[in-house]
C-alpha cells in the first residue's frame, strides 16, 4: 500500500511581505519549524564574502535575554534541536521539537534573529571558530576540489565562491559590521517561515508574530544575470595520497519541467549503488573506493557532476572509464531497465523522505522560494510517474556529452600525470 499523498497545507502572507507555510501531520508527535532567509553566498559582493555564513553563526552567540549557553541548553533540556545552515541561495534557521515545545522553539528563533547582541568579544571568538572551519575544509581534498570545480565551471561569478567565505573578510569583521549586515538584508520580504508536524497554523502565525512584525520591508534588488558555464580543465598539484577527479556540466535550474527526469538520469549515472559509475569504477574494476554523481539546481542554473578519488597510478584508467560512461549515455545508451529502476528509486525516496517532519518543512519552503507556490505531492508523484526511458535518454543526449564538462583535478605529482584523453580544452595548473 502506498502512503497517502493527502496534504493539509496553509499559507499566510503578512502585510510586510513575509510568508508563513505549515503542513499539519496528525500522525506525528513532533514539529519542525524553519525560518528561511532568501540570502546566500551568491548574493554577497566581494567585500562581504562569508558574511552570510558568519551571521548564521553569530545569532547563536547570545541575545538580550539569553546567553550562548542558554540558547544551547534550552532545547536540549526538552529533547529538541536547534541549528542553522547557509547555502549559495538561502540561509535556514530551524528547530525540531515535540509539539508541546513549539512555543519555546518559536520564541528562541524570534529572539535570536531579532535581538542578537553581536558583542565584540563574541565576534572575536567566533572569528576563530569560522577561520578554523575554513582551515578544516582546506585540509579536506574532496572539499577543495569541489570548490575548484565550481570556479572552473563558472569562473568568477559569485555562485562559484565558497559559502564559508574569505578569511580576510572574516578577520576584518566587527560587531557593527555584523549588525549592519543583518539590518540590511534580513527584511520581511526575504523571510519565509515553514513548519510541518503537529502544527496549528493560526497558532504558528501568532507565535512567530515578533519576527513577522519586527523586520522592515525593503525593495528586493533585481536578479543578477544567470552564470555562464564554460568547459575548462584545471589541474592543481598538491602532495596527498589520492588523486581527485571531478567534473561538472551545466544542467537544469530548479523550476525546469524536466527536473525529475534529471534526478532519474543522475541515479543511472552515479546516484546509487546500481549506477554505472559505482558498478564500473568500483565494483567491476576496483579503481576507486567510491564514484558518484550529483545534480544541483539553483534559481537560474543547474549542474550535473561526477567525483571519484583513486591511487594516482590508476587515474588515467579511471578517467577513461568515466569518459566511456558519459559517451555511452550521451549516445543513447540508457537502457529501459536502468531508467525504470531509477524511477522506482525516486518514488521510494520520495515516500521515505515524507516520513521526516524536517524534510516536509524544507519541501514547503524550497518549493515556495523557487517556484512561487507549493507543488502538491500528487503533482510531484505524477511528474515522477511520467518519467519514461526515452525522456531519460533524450536528457542524457542533451547534458552528458563529455565536451560539455569542466574538469578539475587535484593530486600529487605533475600536471602531465593527469592528462584526460577526452578533454579537448587546454589545461591550466594551479599550485
Q: Torsion angle, CA of 139/143/145/149, rounded to 10 degrees?
A: -150
Separation of alpha carbons 271 and 274, rounded Å: 8
Q: Cell numbers 546566500 label which residue?
A: 40
Q: What is the rounded distance in angstroms from the CA atom of residue 313 to the CA atom of residue 330?
A: 28
Give residues with Cβ within 8 angstroms of 260, minimum separation 6: 346, 380, 383, 384, 387
Helix (H/G/I), strand (E/B), else coil: 131: helix
CA 400: distance to chain centroid? 22
Question: Which of 43, 59, 4, 50 lies closest to 27 in space, CA to CA?
Answer: 4
Gyration radius (Cα) of the chain, Å: 23
CA 287 – CA 315 distance, rounded (Å): 8
User: What's the rounded Cα separation, in Å, for the pair 241 and 259?
Assistant: 37
Plot region of 17 (φ>0 → left; ψ -120 to 50 → alpha; else → beta): left
Kind plus residue range of the DSSP H or E element containing 302: strand 302-310
1 in helix, strand or coil? coil
- Specify whether 168 is catalytic: no
Q: What is the Cα–Cα distance from 98 to 106, expressed in whole angstroms?
A: 12
Beta carbons of 249 and 403 less than 8 angstroms apart: no
Show the cell assigned to 411: 593530486
Q: Cell 567566533, residue?
A: 126
Question: Distance between CA atoms of 314 and 317, rounded to whole angstroms?
Answer: 6
Q: How many CB atoms lie within 10 A of CB 394?
A: 16
Active-site annotation holder among 23, 44, 48, 56: 56
Nearest to 293 by CA among 308, 305, 278, 280: 305
Residue 169 and residue 51 in contact, taking contact as beta carbons nearer than 8 Å: yes
Cell (9 digits) for 181? 549586515
For residues 369 and 18, give the distance between their C-alpha atoms in angstroms, rounded to a whole number. 12
Task: Cite the DSSP H helix spans in 217-273.
Answer: 259-269
Catalytic residue numbers, as ranges: 56
Amino acid at each position: 500500500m502506498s502512503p497517502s499523498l493527502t496534504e493539509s497545507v496553509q499559507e499566510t502572507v503578512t502585510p510586510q511581505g513575509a510568508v508563513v507555510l505549515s503542513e499539519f501531520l496528525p500522525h506525528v508527535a513532533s514539529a519542525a519549524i524553519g525560518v528561511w532567509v532568501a540570502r546566500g553566498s551568491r548574493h554577497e559582493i566581494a567585500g562581504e564574502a562569508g558574511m552570510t555564513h558568519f551571521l548564521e553563526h553569530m545569532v547563536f552567540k547570545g541575545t538580550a535575554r539569553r546567553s550562548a549557553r542558554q540558547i544551547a541548553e534550552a532545547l536540549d533540556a526538552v529533547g529538541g534541536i536547534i541549528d542553522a545552515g547557509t547555502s549559495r541561495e538561502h540561509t535556514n534557521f530551524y528547530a525540531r521539537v515535540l509539539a508541546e515545545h513549539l512555543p519555546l522553539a518559536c520564541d528562541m528563533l524570534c529572539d535570536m534573529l531579532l535581538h542578537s547582541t553581536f558583542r565584540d568579544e563574541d565576534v572575536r571568538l567566533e572569528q576563530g571558530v569560522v577561520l578554523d572551519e575554513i582551515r578544516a575544509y582546506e585540509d579536506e581534498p574532496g572539499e577543495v576540489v569541489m570548490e575548484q570545480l565550481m570556479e572552473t565551471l563558472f569562473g568568477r561569478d559569485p555562485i562559484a565562491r565558497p559559502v564559508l567565505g574569505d578569511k580576510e573578510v572574516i578577520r576584518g569583521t566587527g560587531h557593527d559590521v555584523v549588525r549592519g549586515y543583518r539590518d540590511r538584508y534580513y527584511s520581511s520580504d526575504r523571510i519565509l517561515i515553514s513548519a510541518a508536524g503537529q502544527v496549528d497554523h493560526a497558532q504558528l502565525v501568532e507565535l512567530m508574530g515578533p519576527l513577522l512584525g519586527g523586520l522592515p520591508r525593503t525593495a528586493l534588488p533585481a536578479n543578477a544575470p544567470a552564470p555562464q558555464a564554460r568547459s575548462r580543465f584545471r589541474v592543481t598539484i598538491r602532495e596527498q595520497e589520492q588523486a581527485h577527479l571531478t567534473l561538472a556540466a551545466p544542467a537544469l535550474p530548479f523550476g525546469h519541467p524536466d527536473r525529475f527526469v534529471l534526478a532519474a538520469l543522475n541515479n543511472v549515472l552515479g546516484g546509487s549503488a546500481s549506477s554505472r559509475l559505482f558498478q564500473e569504477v568500483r565494483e567491476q574494476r576496483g579503481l576507486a573506493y567510491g564514484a558518484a554523481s550529483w545534480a544541483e539546481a539553483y534559481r537560474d542554473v543547474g549542474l550535473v557532476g561526477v567525483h571519484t578519488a583513486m591511487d594516482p597510478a590508476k587515474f588515467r584508467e579511471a578517467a577513461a572509464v568515466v569518459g566511456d560512461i558519459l559517451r555511452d549515455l550521451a549516445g543513447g545508451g540508457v537502457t529501459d531497465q536502468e531508467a525504470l529502476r531509477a524511477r522506482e528509486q525516486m518514488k521510494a525516496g520520495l515516500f521515505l523522505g515524507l516520513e521526516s517532519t524536517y524534510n516536509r518543512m524544507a519541501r514547503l519552503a524550497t518549493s515556495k522560494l523557487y517556484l512561487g507556490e507549493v507543488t502538491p505531492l500528487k503533482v510531484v508523484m505524477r511528474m515522477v510517474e511520467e518519467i519514461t526511458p526515452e525522456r531519460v535518454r533524450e536528457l542524457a543526449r542533451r547534458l552528458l556529452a563529455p565536451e560539455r564538462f569542466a574538469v578539475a583535478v587535484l593530486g600529487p605529482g605533475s600536471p602531465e600525470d593527469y592528462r584526460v584523453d577526452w578533454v579537448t580544452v587546454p589545461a591550466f595548473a594551479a599550485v
